[in-house]
Amino acid sequence: MQLYGRGIRRRLAPMLRNLPQIKLAYSLLFSLPGTPVMRYGDEIGMGDDLDLKEREAVRTPMQWSNDAQAGFSASKKTILPVIDHGPYAYKDVNVEAQLRSRDSLLLWTTNIIRLRKECPEIGWGDWELIKVDSPGILAIHYTWQGNNLVIIHNFNDKAHRIAFKLKGDKRGDRLVNLLSVEDCEADEKGFHRIAIEAFSYRWYRVGDMSYIIHRTETKVKVGE
């Protein structure tokens, strides 16, 4: 599936075919230094049409609804055909349906984008890898203007328990999970011991949520 020696003419969803791994990949995308980029339709898990030549395989019309032509066009025929068969057909995979589902990839992606915007440390801060004993674990520590993040990804098909100690800031004794109601307190030696499921991820703010609260209060004052 290599194209022009520098890319793959596939979408992520049909390559992985597994929602937890798709979310893992997008969590990684949004938590790495730099600017994350997604192709339109990836936020709903669109598929590709390998009957089309070269890049056109991933340039099929956006699947807005289950209406004719996926709600993309009122024309009877589009330049590139909509995907109308298989597990990624527009009648099953579309924006309208996913907006109504609490468990949809679209709403999950919306939340992870919002979370990324609440974590400027990723785009602006310094970062370093945290050493852990499990080779299938990637752990990154971000710092920026006195604020810290720890983001962990487990690429293994098995759960792991990891232990690590943060340098410097005394607030490192507490990690606040930004994706669920969970705190992690360091033990008496300053080590955090975390169990992370297969193909899973954690986004932690170090210390407390005061930074987020301050930003929210600032936005309210500006709006007033």
**In this predicted structure, what is the pLDDT of residue 18?**
93
Q: Which two tokens stand for residue 62?
A: 């956006």
Q: What is the mean pLDDT of residues 155-162?
A: 94
* 128 and 101 inside one domain: no
The reported pTM is: 0.87
Q: Between 129 and 212, name the one with better pLDDT.
A: 129
**Confidence grade of residue 138 (pLDDT, cut at 50, 70, 90):** very high
**Confidence grade of residue 220 (pLDDT, cut at 50, 70, 90):** very low
**Confidence grade of residue 210 (pLDDT, cut at 50, 70, 90):** low
* 102 and 126 inside one domain: no
* 52 and 108 inside one domain: yes
**Confidence grade of residue 1 (pLDDT, cut at 50, 70, 90):** confident
Q: Quick one: how far is CA 194 from the chain centroid? A: 20
Of 57, 92, 117, which closes a domain? 117
**In this predicted structure, what is the pLDDT of residue 207?**
85
* 6 and 108 inside one domain: yes
Average of per-residue pLDDT values in the chain: 90
The CATH number covering residue 202 comes to 2.60.40.1180
Of 57, 84, 117, which closes a domain? 117
Round to whole Å and give the CA distance between 39 and 42: 6
Give the chain's domain count.
Answer: 2
Asked if residue 91 belongs to a domain, the reply is: yes
Residue 181, classified by CB atoms within 10 Å of its CB into exposed (0-12), middle (13-18) or buried (19+), is exposed
* 139 and 201 inside one domain: yes
Per residue in 48-89, pLDDT tens? 999 999 999 999 999 999 999 999 999 999 999 999 999 999
Asked if residue 224 belongs to a domain, the reply is: no
Asked if residue 14 belongs to a domain, the reply is: yes
* 59 and 125 inside one domain: no
Is the confidence at residue 136, as pLDDT, over 70? Answer: yes
Q: What is the mean pLDDT of residues 134-155?
A: 94
Dihedral of CA 83/87/91/96: which sign? negative
* 160 and 110 inside one domain: no
Asked if residue 146 belongs to a domain, the reply is: yes
Bridge partners, 144 (sequence order): 147
Asked if residue 167 belongs to a domain, the reply is: yes
* 80 and 12 inside one domain: yes
Instruction: Choose among 163, 212, 162: nearest CA to 189.
Output: 163
Domain residues for the domain of 145 are 120-219
Q: Which helix H or strand E contains 211, and what residues bound it?
A: helix 210-223
Is the confidence at residue 16, as pLDDT, over 90? Answer: yes
* 106 and 185 inside one domain: no
